[in-house]
Amino acid sequence: MNKLHTMALVAMVALSAAGTQALAQTAAKGTTKGATTKVTDADVRQMIESSFTSKGPATVEGVLNQDATQKACSQYPDRSKVPAAVAKKVEAAELKQVKYPADNNWLGDWKEGEKIAQNGRGMQFTDAVGGTNGGNCYACHQLTKAEISFGNIGPSLYQYGKLRGNSQEVVRYTWGKIWDSNAFSACSNMPRFGHKGILTEQQIRDVMALLLDPASPVNQ
């Protein structure tokens, strides 16, 4: 299959009745009596356009309008196969987009950070437009000993600050990683929280404190 196909499956936009038929037709084109017909990007784009309707913050345009990094990364469904030259280019471009806190205030309140890390709401068709988003960090990371329900797409961040300390270098890297994950590993599965406006600067401060404050349960 191709890149947009995968996106269609994860898109959280509403599916219309007419769209269900278009979906079936595109799927049928993929396998005709045992023979495989090539489904092109144009087919999939058309299928998405006719099958989905925007609802709330989940928009069809949001799925179809890819930025340069998304376009580059979509060429490599297996992220481990991104060529080094492409990765270098993506990382350099994304690093330029990181906005560091102008007031030099890097750490907020870890208690708020924990709530953000636990919160998986936001940007779905059932959410309010312009509402507050969660970070859903636990979906991919272990963070504390107390929370035993976590995903492992990302590495464990338990004792993150205890193990790395909080030198200016570590603090700056961590902020940059949360702001734009792709600045440090091209085509990362981790959302670009700051760059895409998923989390506000204050929310990032709070999540930073969760990772780096010695009093945070992450560092016990």
Kindly state the smallest distance separating residue 212's Cβ from ligand HEC, in Å: 10
Q: Does 141 bind ligand HEC (CB under 6 A)?
A: yes
Q: Does 178 bind ligand HEC (CB under 6 A)?
A: yes
Q: Does 188 bind ligand HEC (CB under 6 A)?
A: yes
Which part of the chain contacts ligand HEC (CB under 6 A), choosing from 9-17, 63-71, 90-98, 151-159? Answer: 151-159
Q: Does 154 bind ligand HEC (CB under 6 A)?
A: yes
Q: Does 150 bind ligand HEC (CB under 6 A)?
A: no
Alpha helices in the chain (DSSP H): 3-10, 17-30, 41-51, 60-64, 68-74, 84-95, 110-118, 160-164, 168-179, 201-212
Q: Does 135 bind ligand HEC (CB under 6 A)?
A: yes
Distance CA 91, CA 182 (A): 6
Q: Does 190 bind ligand HEC (CB under 6 A)?
A: yes
Our CB check for ligand HEC shows the closer of 19 and 194 to be 194
Binding site for ligand HEC (CB under 6 A): 117, 135-137, 139-141, 153-155, 157, 174, 177-178, 181, 185, 188-191, 193, 207
